Amino acid sequence: MNTLTETLALRGGIVAAIGAGGKKSVMNQLAAEASGRLAWTGTVFTARPPRWTDVEVHVGEEDELLERAAATSGPPRQAFLRPSEKPGRYGGLAPETIARLHRIGAFDLTLVKADGARMRGLKCPKPGEPVLPPKTDLIVVVVSAQVIGRPLDSEFVHRPERVAAVLGIELGEVLQPEHLAISLTHPQGLQAGTEGRAILPIINQVDDASRRELAEQAARQALALSDRFDRVVLSCLHRHSSAAPVVGVVERSRACTR
């Protein structure tokens, strides 16, 4: 079974994670798999990477973090975060600073959390989101399969009113696979602010066979609605799960490959 890095066909560069339902899980998995020099950061508030990723965390102001990045003798995996008054949360870096950090640190891969979703499984961005560094090479767009069959409300969805407007449905309506597909492809959904960049959707939290079937439906419909991507990755990124992180890949030209 391929790793998540292999499945995404990552060749390095700046990779931003947006959406809801597993951005940090995607970043943590990619960080743990990284073989070259890695930077882990964000343009928005974020938690620090967990210890199992083996990422050394640096907290400071931007000039200090840039100096730290330039030290080539540093560890291969490093996180760069700004201090924050929010408990357990750290501030993000300016997009231009991240581009500089990637360059002067000679990082093979820089992972960036580029929006927030308050631990919900689905969102549509507000104006100004996502906050992407210049020359972002790939945007990983995350949604959760767990919202399928759930009501469109604030328990499961970040800014449900905005999502309802994009989907053209009422608050409280039960979410279906087609709604994930629309959120991934609508110009005011998760494709907003990504123009001119490569994007790749991940449907996360595909935890069992029934959830996989629903996720595959959503993936096929998303591929039919947009030509911005040619495949959708299905994942299960529970750290303590015995399941492989990659559940399957749905491609435009064929059914699920795994």
- Please answer whether residues 101 and 121 qualify as being in contact, where contact means their C-beta atoms are separated by less than 8 angstroms: no
Other CB atoms closer than 10 Å to residue 35's CB: what's the count?
10
pLDDT in the model for residue 239? 64
Is residue 211 within 8 A of residue 243, CB to CB? The reply is no
Q: Is the peptide bond before 130 cis (omega within 30 degrees of 0)?
A: yes
Contacts of 229 (CB under 8 A, 6+ apart): 199, 200, 201, 223
Residues of 229-251 as b/e, b for ≥16 C-beta within 10 angstroms? bebbbbbbbeeeeeeebbbbbbb
The whole-angstrom separation of Cα 102 and Cα 99 is: 5
DSSP string, the chain: ---HHHHHT--SEEEEEEESSSHHHHHHHHHHH--S-EEEEESS-BPPPPGGGTPEEEES-HHHHHHHHH-TTS-SEEEEEB--SSTT-BBPPPHHHHHHHHHHTT-SEEEEE----TT-SB--PPTT-S-PPTT--EEEEEEEGGGTTSBSSTTTBSSHHHHHHHHT--TTPBP-HHHHHHHHH-TTTTTTT-TTS-EEEEEE---SHHHHHHHHHHHHHHHHH-SS-SEEEEE---TT-SS-SEEEEEETTBS---
pLDDT digits over 22-34, tens only?
Answer: 999 999 999 999 9
What confidence score (pLDDT) does residue 57 get?
A: 96
Local confidence pLDDT in tens for the 258 residues of the chain: 689 999 999 999 999 999 999 999 999 999 999 999 999 999 999 999 999 999 999 999 999 999 999 987 778 999 999 999 989 899 999 999 999 999 999 999 999 999 999 999 999 999 999 999 999 999 999 999 999 999 999 999 999 999 999 999 999 999 999 999 999 999 999 999 999 999 999 999 999 999 999 999 999 999 999 999 999 999 999 766 667 899 999 999 754 444
Please give the pLDDT value at position 75.
Answer: 83
Tokens 């591929």 correspond to what residue?
Answer: 223
